[in-house]
Structure 1
Amino acid sequence: MKPVPPAPEAEIVVEGQHVRLHNLHKVFWPELGLTKADLVNYYLQVSPYLLPYLKGRPFIMKPFPDGASGRSYYRWEIPDYAPAWVHRWRYQARTEERTIDMVVVEGLADLVWVVNQACIEMHPWLSRRDDPLHPDVALLDLDPGPGTTFTDALQVAAWLHQLLERAGTRSYAKTSGRKGVHVLVPLERRYSFREVRDWVKAVARRLAEERPHLVTAARTAEARRGRVLVDYAQNGLGKSVASPYSARATRTATVSTPLTWAEVEQAQVRPEQFTLLTVPERLGAVGDLLASLAEGQLLPDVSALGSGASA
């Protein structure tokens, strides 16, 4: 598909659907001179890699109408003006009596439509609409606390990988696109969110016991000072995570990017290396490093995990 121009408006045909695009000339990243058109074109380029991580998942919209440095808000319910062809899923919220229709990005036309709503970031659920109560991935969210760095988060990710690998459990790493690292563990869809959250919490506590100088599972300000938090809280029904290849609303237009475990262990990469401008070329060189994330697996008993990396 041809790149869209940075014009006030354009109409493109995607998968047989006419998608009207607005404000393509609007600058979304002032320091880089990148416009909304650049965002649309990025997602057109990476869509073959991105769409498998969005398809079938309820999608939480997060528009940034004034660009990456402007205000944003979460929007669960698809707006009334959305075209009839945009895929959606009816969700009965536990805290409300009413139902809401959520977007589901099933194809390129859906993706272009949500990006036109100024959704810089992609926020899908950790479960799919055909079985929303059972996630197919567990998330260990590594968040550097005050006094720690992205390099420290990479070290903790490497320790987690070694810990899980000893139990024969596959895991994958990606930058969050901000200051942290996401470690993803693919699952068979047999566990409840509570079971997954409890497992992630137990793994986090296990590593924190072994590496108390750099790792914490506690969310208090005191516990986080000088340590990397292994956060388990996003493992819940209705929670979302920035998908692989999601752009982020940062000053440098970073992208949540999968890493090889060699890159994690060598700890030479930085989030700022992976942007709207660089990730398409990286994908052409290394492909999708998370391709086997779709292959589910059983969770090991935490008591059976070996110890982490040697000091």
Structure 2
Amino acid sequence: MAAGKTPAVELEVRGRTVKVSSPDRLYFPERGLTKLDVVQYFVSVGDGILGALRDRPTTLERWPKGVFEGAKLATRMDSSGDAFYQKRVPQGAPDYVETSRIAFPSGRTADEVCPTELAVVAWAANLGTITFHPWPVRSADVESPDQMRIDLDPQPGTDYDDAARVAPEVRALLHELGMEGWPKTSGGRGLHIFVPIQPRWTFTQARRATIALGRELERRLPEQVTIKWWKEERGVKIFVDYNQMARDRTIASAYSIRANPRATVSAPLRWEEVADVAPNDFDITTMPARFAEVGDLFSPLNADGAPSADGGQGYSIQPLLDLADKDERDHGTQDLPYPPEYPKMPGEPKRVQPSRDRDRPR
């Protein structure tokens, strides 16, 4: 062992021994929080984080040097960075780490970590994972989403409170369609609403259903909501990010830590709390006590046979697909742009920023 290096710590995690190397490495310097604090946090909310990830292909957002001032996350456009997304299972993974093969829009495949027990979460946290990005599918059928994830994304000039004002309108619309949603903070300024759906539709259909929901919200709340893909068109509104339902686009799981100095976490909420809380209320120092008090508020999403109007597994998105058909008939609506790294998709409109579109009427 190198001089001055802190010995590894071994944690017992539900029958597994997980080694935490460099346990005193500062991961969140402004809070004095270490790698060991991060691993122990995930263990403390074990049923919650495992419920959010169990049997789901999961991308790991790894910050092996911690979240320090000036640290940046590598992107598709810039591979340099202090942190990165790990889509393929890391080499040397323990034999209890299961994987699931998924296909990207490019057609390439990868074997992603597919957590089945809490020790996998602790092992990944030891590698620097602070945010887990599970796909909205189960390993038994990676082509059929079983969750519709509604991302209320505040644009410049708006914040969490604006998203919180929109959220009840989302719920009211879901109720009109015979559905229910479960809200959580994003860990940043936004709000996420998860809806369990029957795993019988494709990603394309689930995305189309989300677009239909976003368009209806935009009609009802034109001064508050936008579904415009191009930032220059969104204005000071809440953007319903429909492309979060496209293949290979994921949302931070419930109980994940976010890469900010405070170490906030994505916190499941009761509906009656949405308007009264703030994202900073939930971090890795406060969430364990809250979890001990209220339990996993997202547990209905994770159980087999999640609640639905007809007693089946999840809700039908057919009412939203019918709404999409009606929009097309009555308003001439078309598909909306996909993210830039996607191949051109069938029925997709021109993927060009409006201000750069030479064919656009002036």
**TM-score, scaled to structure 1:** 0.90
Unmatched segments (≥5 aa) in structure 2: 72-81, 307-313, 325-362
User: 1:80 corresponds to which residue?
Assistant: 91
Per-residue CA shift, 1:80-128, capped at 9, x if unaligned? 222223212234555355x532211110221111111100111111111
Distance of 2:8 and 2:282 partners within structure 1: 29
Tell me: higher relative CO, structure 1 or 2? Use CA pairs within 8 A at least 6 residues apart: 1
Distance of 2:231 and 2:33 partners within structure 1: 36
Is 1:207 the counterpart of 2:225? The answer is: no
Q: Does the residue aligned with 2:151 lie in a helix, a strand or coil?
A: strand
Contact residue 86 and residue 103 of structure 1 kept, 8 A:
yes
User: 1:255 corresponds to which residue?
Assistant: 265
Q: Alignment length, in residue pairs?
A: 297
Return structure 1 stretches of 4+ with deviation > 6 angstroms.
none
Q: Does the residue aligned with 1:241 lie in a helix, a strand or coil?
A: coil
Q: Does the residue aligned with 2:61 lie in a helix, a strand or coil?
A: coil
- Counterpart of 1:276 in structure 2: which amino acid? I
User: 2:290 corresponds to which residue?
Assistant: 282
- Aligned pairs for 1:139-178 (under 5 A) are 139-178=149-188
Alpha-carbon RMSD across the aligned residues, in angstroms, is: 1.9
Deviates more, 1:224-233 or 1:65-74: 65-74
- Aligned pairs for 1:1-311 (under 5 A) are 7-69=6-68, 70=71, 71-93=82-104, 95=106, 99-264=109-274, 267-294=275-302, 295=306, 296-302=314-320
- Counterpart of 1:89 in structure 2: which amino acid? S
User: 2:342 corresponds to which residue?
Assistant: none
Distance of 1:10 and 1:145 partners within structure 2: 43
Contact residue 47 and residue 296 of structure 2 kept, 8 A:
no
Distance 1:92 1:222, change over 3 A: closer
- Counterpart of 1:286 in structure 2: which amino acid? V
- What percentage of residue pairs aligned between the two structures are identical? 36
Distance of 2:161 and 2:7 partners within structure 1: 41
**TM-score, scaled to structure 2:** 0.78
Deviates more, 1:177-186 or 1:81-90: 81-90
Distance of 1:116 and 1:128 partners within structure 2: 24
Distance 1:91 1:149, change over 3 A: closer
Q: Does the residue aligned with 2:30 lie in a helix, a strand or coil?
A: coil
Contact residue 126 and residue 239 of structure 1 kept, 8 A:
no
